């Protein structure tokens, strides 16, 4: 009997309301088809979604937390990057 | 009773769903992996939901005020009309999936035909259940293919399961004289059409799974007449215990 573990998959679900697929969790499955089946059974049994993506976790490349100083902190002081310095005309709604 | 033929037919549909649902529920907490544990219990609950609708309708036809609980929990062994295939013990995962596949491949074309039933209640239940059953068949087919065309160990186990369960498959298509009156009235389909579709699904999936259809044609039957294997009594003891020990209890 093989002791090899099935690969890990990340699961993304698009809910009825939302436009984007959102990461909801992960699971194990031997291949993509069964990963979708499992995602359907584990993550949409309470009508949470209308579309599922699965990606083998191996294929996700993540930023390194130890790079946070140079990766993310510099933007904290760049308030001018937020579009908050414009006068919005009175007639414009929903801003 | 107004319509004994219809009562018997709806009861057997309900009992098939109930007994397989109970069997699959036995996997709860024992699945080979967490994901499959949830998948099997989801399917179990789909089947028990179908059983509730079908047994409620059977009780309505019977006209003695029995609801799904009365029919599920308070009958004796010989009064159940499920086929023998579904009361067979779970065995290993390959055996459970093979039992599921052989049944799903039968249930899907049956529900497809029942959607066109002249009985509106049967048609409505079939329409809702068909969506669930299509997924059940997809799921069990995928497992049969992967187990059959997998390792030597998985291939042998699923081939053994097929060899063992094949003898219970003819009964799926048995038709009583009472059923014939329903076929004539356009309420239920003829089983000969269902069998053709079943055989095609089974042939193509087993071929992809590299499994051999058994050549031994010895077949068991009896469940449809209430003559069951020794396994049903134990299953019912589990299923009925609470209602028998504490009559009318609810939670």
Predicted-complex ipTM score: 0.78
- The reply to whether residue B35 touches residue A27, judged by beta carbons under 8 angstroms, is yes
pLDDT at A69: 87
Within a domain: residue A41?
Answer: yes
User: A3 lies in a domain?
Assistant: no
Mean pLDDT of all residues belonging to chain A: 88
DSSP label of B158: H
Q: Does B138 touch chain A (CB under 8 A)?
A: yes
Nearest neighbour of A41 by CB, restricted to B38, B146, B151 = B38
Q: Identify the pLDDT of residue B1.
A: 58
- Contacts B39 to A, Cβ<8 Å: 37-38, 41
Distance from CA of B95 to the nearest CA of A (A): 17
Instruction: Count structural domains, chain A.
Output: 1
- Of B25, B39, B68, B51, nearest to B238 by C-alpha is B25
pLDDT tier for residue B227 given thresholds of 50, 70 and 90: very high
Is B55 in contact with B68 (CB distance < 8 Å)? yes
Better-predicted residue by pLDDT, B137 or A46: B137
CB–CB of B42 and A27 under 8 A? no
Residue B28 forms contact with A (CB below 8 Å): no
Contact B216/B167 with Cβ under 8 angstroms?
A: yes
**Assigned domain for A57 exists:** yes
Domains in chain B, CATH or no CATH each: 4-212+224-245 (1.20.1260.10)
CB contact under 8 A, B146 and A42: no
Q: Which of the pair, A88 or B226, is modelled with greater confidence?
A: B226
Spatial distance between the Cα atoms of A3 and A1, rounded to a whole number of angstroms: 7
How many angstroms separate the CA atoms of B188 and B179, rounded? 8
**Lowest-pLDDT choice from B20-24, B33-37, B151-155:** B33-37
Top pLDDT among A94 and A49 is at A49
The pLDDT of residue A11 is: 97
A47 belongs to a structural domain:
yes
- CATH number of the CATH domain containing A15: 3.10.20.520
- Give which of B14, B152, B137, B37 is closest to B83, Cα–Cα: B14
pLDDT at A87: 82
Average pLDDT for chain B: 96
Does residue A38 lie within any of the structural domains?
A: yes
Beta-carbon contacts of residue B197 (< 8 Å; ≥ 6 apart):
B109
- The boundaries of the domain holding residue A17 are 8-62
The SS3 call for residue B111 is helix
| Smallest CA–CA distance from B147 into chain A, residue | A30
| pLDDT at residue A1 is higher than 60 | no
Model confidence at B35: pLDDT above 80: yes
Dihedral, CA atoms, B111, B186, B198, B165, nearest 10 degrees? 80
Is the backbone of residue B12 left (phi > 0), alpha (psi -120 to 50) or beta? Answer: alpha
Interface residues on A facing B, Cβ-Cβ cutoff 8 A: 1-2, 6, 27-31, 33-34, 37-38, 40-42, 45
Determine phi and psi for B80, rounding to 5 degrees: -85, 145
What backbone torsions phi and psi does residue B203 show, to the nearest 5 degrees? -60, -50
CA pair distance A41, A37, nearest whole angstrom: 6
pTM as predicted: 0.89
**What mean pLDDT do residues B122-128 have?**
98
Q: What is the separation of C-alpha A95 from the centre of its chain, rounded to a whole number of angstroms?
A: 26
A60, burial (CB in 10 Å: exposed 0-12, middle 13-18, buried 19+)? exposed
Q: Quick one: which of B122, B133, B93, B139 has its CA closest to B12?
A: B122
Residues 139-168 of B with CB under 8 A from A: 139, 142, 146, 151, 153
Residue in chain A nearest B135 by alpha carbon: A37
Instruction: Look at residue B196 and tell me whether its pLDDT is greater than 80.
Output: yes
Is pLDDT of B200 > 70? yes
């Amino acid at each position: 009997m093989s002791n090899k573990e099935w690969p890990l998959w990340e699961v993304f679900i698009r809910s009825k309301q939302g436009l984007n697929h959102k990461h909801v969790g992960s699971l194990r499955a031997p291949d993509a088809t069964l990963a979708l089946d499992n995602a359907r059974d584990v993550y949409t049994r309470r009508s949470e979604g209308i579309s599922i993506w699965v990606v083998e976790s191996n294929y996700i490349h993540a930023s390194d937390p130890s790079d946070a100083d140079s990766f993310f902190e510099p933007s904290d002081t760049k308030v001018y990057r937020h579009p908050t310095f414009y006068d919005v005309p009175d007639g414009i709604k929903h801003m | 009773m107004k319509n004994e033929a219809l009562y018997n037919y709806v009861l057997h549909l309900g009992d098939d769903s109930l007994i397989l649902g109970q069997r699959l529920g036995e996997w709860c907490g024992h699945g080979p992996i967490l994901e499959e544990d949830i998948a099997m219990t989801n399917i179990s609950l789909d089947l028990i939901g179908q059983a509730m609708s079908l047994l409620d309708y059977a009780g309505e036809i019977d006209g003695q005020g029995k609801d799904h609980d009365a029919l599920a929990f308070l009958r004796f062994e010989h009064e159940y009309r499920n086929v023998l295939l579904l009361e067979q013990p779970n065995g290993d995962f390959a055996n459970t999936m093979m039992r599921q596949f052989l049944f799903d491949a039968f249930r899907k074309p049956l529900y497809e035909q029942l959607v066109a039933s002249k009985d509106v209640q049967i048609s409505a239940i079939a329409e809702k259940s068909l969506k669930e059953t299509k997924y059940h068949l997809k799921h069990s087919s995928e497992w049969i293919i992967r187990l059959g065309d997998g390792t030597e160990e998985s291939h042998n186990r699923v081939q053994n399961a097929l060899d063992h369960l094949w003898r219970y498959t003819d009964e799926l298509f048995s038709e009583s004289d009472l059923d014939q009156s329903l076929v004539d009235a356009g309420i239920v389909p003829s089983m000969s059409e269902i069998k053709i579709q079943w055989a095609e699904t089974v042939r193509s999936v087993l071929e992809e799974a590299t499994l051999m259809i058994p050549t031994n044609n010895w077949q068991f039957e009896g469940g449809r007449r209430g003559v069951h294997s020794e396994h049903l009594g134990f299953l019912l003891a589990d299923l009925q215990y609470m209602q028998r020990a504490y009559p009318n209890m609810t939670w």
